[in-house]
A and B are shown apart, each in its own frame.
Chain A
Amino acid sequence: MTKTMVLIGTRKGLWTATSEDDRQTWTLRGPDLGLNEVAACAIDTRGSSTRLFAGASSSHWGPAMSYSDDLGASWTEPDPAPISFPQETDAALARVWQVTPGPSDRPDLVWAGTEPSALWRSEDRGVSFTLNQGLWDHPHRKEWQPGGGGQALHTILPHPDDSRRMLVAMSTGGVYRTTDDGESWNPANKGIQGSFLPADEFPEYGQCVHKVARHPERPDQLFAQNHGGVYRSDDEGDSWSSIADGLPADFGFNAVVHPHAPGTVYVIPLVADMDRFPPDARIRVYRTRDAGQSWEELAKGLPDDPFYATVMRDGMCADDSATTGIYFGTRSGSVFASADEGESWSEIVSHLPDVLCVRAGRVG
């Protein structure tokens, strides 16, 4: 029987919510991975069996990358450590920020993004990773600075049709692209404002891009939620234009593209970087169906009471059902779900530790 699973990474462990009735009711299980902070998780349904990934970090025992081949019943951390900085870098892994399965025709290819900002490639489905040297050696590296959450490479977008092209984003640093399979990288931030910078507000790089999303059927079109500013690019990052008109605020952390509808994107606005609360203290999702020309508020089922919790950059996701489900987890330990593309919502989980990431998908 096909089930829908939501992985919920929190400040203190990983939970799974599972539905066997097309997302009407949910069963919660956890915590897994003990008191580990789980900042990244992924559901990889490629190949013959589902593999779950978790980038976990213990405040005592350090970071780790684990996987599960039994839907979370048990977790394996390979030996040697899957992600380990080479000695010559004089760096140490602080946190796994992103795990991105590769294309369906290459089920063993997995990408990871870390703190310090680095891109990693696995050819054995996440058992071992190799550092992308081109990005690591980038001359801009010394000028990338950690945001409030740390120096994170948090977004990995392989091109769906060209394996030599990829886009990554980091906070801070901004958007970078490669067109030669990661040998070289160039900033792709033209038009994205760095409003927190003291002088040059449209620098070549150094922006604090919080999340970038794109639809595989429209790979040149990108959507970015910036540290102030919501943007669209129609030329794979050559240039960006604001699409914030129609939103109550342009600050936030999330950008999720509808898996079946290019041009449909979800964001969760916050007032401002120095006022990180939902506008009017009401948690609301905003959706565009025309690539940012207009936005609609999605509120049905969401709390009307004052709500002051925020949603972290990987705290919102979509599932791959025919009628797409949208999910977001809050720093107040709730997970809200919509089984109808955002039209209506219900709180499926409450009272967890603060949620850092969610991922959803159908599993066998």
Chain B
Amino acid sequence: MAVLIRIPGALRQFTDNARTLEVDLPDGGDVAQLLARVGADNPSLLRRICDERGDLHQHVNMFIGTANVRDCEGLATLVPDGVEVYVLPAVSGG
């Protein structure tokens, strides 16, 4: 299945200013697999989203539709067919 990932403005320097990425993912795939696919083509983007262990950076959120993966199964959260994925920086800092 094709998964649409929406990229925040701050990370579009790593996507040639593209607002979305379309990533192929096997049916039943989870967030970890999705990120692995992202990193295979775009390691610079991946390391802004998660560290070398694969953990999301503290102030980066991923939503599967309207569900924050931190409130679900984390990187093991399944990505259903037809749902958009959002990478959202936390509104934080000073």
Contacts and interface: CB of A to CB of B under 8 A. Distances in A.
- Interface size class, chain B: 10 to 19
Given A61-B10, A61-B57, A93 B52 contact: yes
Contacts of B58: 59
Interface in A84-106: 84-85, 87, 90-93
B26 interface: no
A81 B53 CA distance: 13
Contact of B59 (A59, A84, A85, A92): A59
B67 to A, nearest CB: 21
A80 interface: yes
A60 interface: yes
A87 B47 CA distance: 14
B92 A62 contact: no
B48 A87 contact: no
A81 B93 contact: no
A79 B53 CA distance: 17
Contacts of B60: 60-61
Contacts, number: 46
A90 B53 contact: yes
Nearest to A92: B51
Contacts of A93: 51-52
Contact of B52 (A35, A61, A81): A81
A35 B44 CA distance: 18
Interface string A41-77: 0000000000000000011111000000000000001
A87 B92 contact: no
Contacts of B47: 62, 81
Interface of A: 35, 58-62, 77, 79-81, 84-85, 87, 90-93
Given A60-B57, A61-B49, A62-B57, 8 more contacts: A59-B92, A59-B93, A60-B59, A61-B48, A81-B43, A92-B53, A92-B55, A93-B51
Interface of B: 10-11, 43-44, 47-49, 51-53, 55, 57-60, 89-90, 92-93
Task: Enumerate the 5 nearest inter-chain pairs by beta-carbon distance, A residue then B residue, closest first.
Answer: A92-B51, A61-B48, A60-B59, A84-B52, A60-B89
